[in-house]
């Protein structure tokens, strides 16, 4: 077709359109050319669409991941650092719980997180509930915080995989997001550049997740584990359920409230999953057995070490931890009550998330917009409160109806399954 001296975007697109494998040099030509402005939007879009239609081989996916990883800074740490990544969901605040747990037992954890993406606020949006929290810090500060506290949560650096950021923005505009190789390389380019040697992936599926089916979530998880292992990382992926919100709060203030409750060792699905992730990362980082790791995690919560560590992590980045005792409140609230006796067997994650998005549309303080929910499996009677809606604007009848429709009460209880598959990979 072409050699490295005579590469053209046209030839590379045509090759991929015919479902042929692009070489490392061809992929680099497209990625580097797009970030430099020599490959225009329309040609990059055509190449991405050809990938969506025809897929990529593992060799191509490894190449794309490496090229995007090397497009910016690649962090290195003096110690073995762990990281956890979630593909996102509704009321998914596990990072805010497992980071202080891990740090409190001496496992170094470096977490670069994002802002709102998809349904609700991102990790950094939630942390900014604490007045003064400064998530945008340098790599040097990041490393010093990990050395001091064993853990830190900062915002994703603009210098980490900048090619991925540019390409993702184009994918979002051109209906080329929905491709497992593109999703896997996008996530893993950032994870590899962030410097962790041990990476745990939480790959979600369901109505409140990007991946809608268990089959697609497993395929994505397996590919990301293979990418990490290829680049020398110790990997593990957990495929989890996101049909219902993970926590009992949706919206920044209410998710922080839920996190603080979990750190005080109050049981719920959010805490159950966070403890499981923390246990697996202790095992991966220390090579201890599962039972010992689990006991370390439980002790961290029971003795309030994790809560104290959380306070230290917030304070170290300027956050006012005193806000935890006086979280911001909305002007209006509305209590949704049960109309029948029974058990809460399902809460539609997508329905709840869309309702919270609607609440935040014209709000002067999006952080106080949200919903507090009764937990799955809770037994309720007529007129029991099953949800409390919070807003700085008057709450519309349609929003109340949307919340009511999202909550299913049945005569028989049904236990929610959280974990569907564990995929392990060794470097």
- 21: CATH: 1.20.970.10
The total of structural domains in the chain comes to: 3
Residue 372, beta-bridge partner list: 249, 388
pLDDT in tens, 26-85: 999 999 999 999 999 999 999 999 999 999 999 999 999 999 999 999 999 989 999 999
| Mean pLDDT, the chain, whole residue set | 93
Q: Is the pLDDT of residue 121 over 90?
A: no
Q: Would you state the structure tokens that stand for residue 62, as one six-digit string?
A: 């490894």
Residue 200's CATH number: 3.40.1030.10
Shared domain check, 314 and 205? yes
Shared domain check, 201 and 146? yes
Residue 387, beta-bridge partner list: 336, 373
Per-residue pLDDT band at 305 (split at 50, 70, 90): very high
Residue 195 placed within a domain: yes
H helices within 105-244, ranges in order? 123-127, 139-149, 162-173, 180-193, 214-230
Whole-number Å distance between alpha carbons of 315 and 130: 9
Q: How far is CA 302 from CA 210, 277, 307, in A?
A: 34, 17, 10
Task: Please count the other Cβ atoms lying within 10 Å of the Cβ belonging to residue 90.
Answer: 29
Shared domain check, 403 and 268? no
Shared domain check, 200 and 162? yes
Residue 374's CATH number: 3.90.1170.30
Shared domain check, 255 and 365? no
Residue 76 placed within a domain: no
290 exposure class (CB count in 10 Å sphere: 0-12, 13-18, 19+): exposed
Q: What is the pTM of this model?
A: 0.93
Q: Is the pLDDT of residue 98 over 90?
A: yes
Shared domain check, 313 and 402? no
For residue 66, the SS3 value is helix
CA end-to-end span of the chain? 35
pLDDT of residue 426: 65
Shared domain check, 294 and 362? no
Q: Would you state the structure tokens that stand for residue 131, as one six-digit string?
A: 């007045």
Whole-number Å distance between alpha carbons of 51 and 57: 10
Shared domain check, 368 and 273? no
* Residue 110 and residue 194 in contact, taking contact as beta carbons nearer than 8 Å: yes
Concatenating the DSSP letter of every residue in 246-260 gives SSSEESHHHHHHHHH
Shared domain check, 135 and 95? yes
Q: Which residues are catalytic?
A: 85, 164, 171, 186, 190
pLDDT of residue 2: 45
Shared domain check, 98 and 220? yes
| Torsional sign, CA 83, 84, 87, 88 | negative
Domain span at residue 254 reads 82-324+419-425
Shared domain check, 280 and 373? no
Q: Is the pLDDT of residue 5 over 60?
A: no
Backbone angles phi, psi at 230, to 5 degrees: -60, -35
Q: Is the pLDDT of residue 274 over 50?
A: yes
Shared domain check, 268 and 135? yes
For residue 110, the SS3 value is strand
Residue 62 placed within a domain: no
């Amino acid at each position: 077709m072409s050699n490295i001296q005579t590469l053209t975007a046209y030839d590379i697109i045509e090759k991929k359109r015919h479902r042929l494998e692009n070489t490392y040099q061809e992929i680099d030509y497209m990625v580097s050319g797009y970030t430099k402005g020599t490959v225009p939007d329309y040609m990059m879009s055509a190449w991405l669409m050809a990938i969506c239609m025809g897929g990529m081989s593992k060799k191509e996916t490894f190449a794309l991941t490496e090229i995007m990883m090397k497009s910016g800074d690649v962090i290195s740490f003096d110690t073995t650092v762990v990281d956890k990544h979630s593909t996102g969901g509704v009321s998914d605040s596990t990072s805010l719980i497992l980071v202080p747990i891990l740090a409190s037992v001496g496992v170094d954890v470096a977490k670069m997180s994002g802002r709102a993406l998809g349904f609700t606020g991102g990790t950094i949006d939630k942390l900014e509930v604490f007045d003064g929290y400064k998530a945008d810090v340098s790599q040097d500060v990041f490393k010093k915080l990990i050395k001091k506290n064993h853990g830190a949560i900062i915002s994703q650096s603009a210098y980490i995989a900048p090619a991925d950021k540019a390409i993702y923005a184009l994918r979002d505009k051109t209906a080329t997001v929905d491709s497992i190789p593109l999703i896997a390389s996008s996530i893993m380019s950032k994870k590899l550049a962030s410097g962790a040697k041990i990476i745990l992936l939480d790959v979600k599926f369901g109505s409140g997740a990007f991946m809608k089916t268990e089959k697609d979530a497993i395929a994505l998880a397996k590919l990301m584990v293979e990418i990490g292992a290829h680049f020398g990382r110790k990997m593990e992926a957990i495929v989890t359920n996101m049909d219902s919100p993970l926590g009992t709060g949706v919206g920044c203030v209410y998710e922080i409230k839920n996190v603080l409750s979990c750190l005080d060792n109050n049981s719920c699905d959010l805490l159950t999953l966070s403890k499981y992730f923390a246990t697996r990362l202790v095992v991966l980082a220390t090579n201890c057995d599962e039972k010992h790791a689990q006991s370390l995690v439980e002790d961290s919560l029971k003795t309030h070490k994790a809560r104290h560590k959380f306070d230290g992590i917030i304070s170290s980045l300027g956050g006012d931890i005193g806000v935890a005792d006086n979280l911001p409140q909305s002007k209006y609230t509305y209590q949704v009550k049960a109309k029948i006796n029974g058990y809460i067997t399902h809460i539609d994650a997508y329905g709840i998330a869309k309702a919270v998005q609607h609440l935040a549309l014209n709000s002067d303080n999006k952080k106080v917009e949200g919903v507090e929910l009764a937990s799955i499996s809770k037994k309720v009677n007529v007129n029991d409160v099953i949800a409390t809606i919070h807003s700085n604007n008057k709450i519309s009848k349609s929003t109340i109806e949307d919340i009511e429709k999202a909550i299913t009460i049945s005569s028989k209880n049904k236990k929610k399954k959280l974990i569907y598959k564990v995929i392990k990979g060794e470097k």
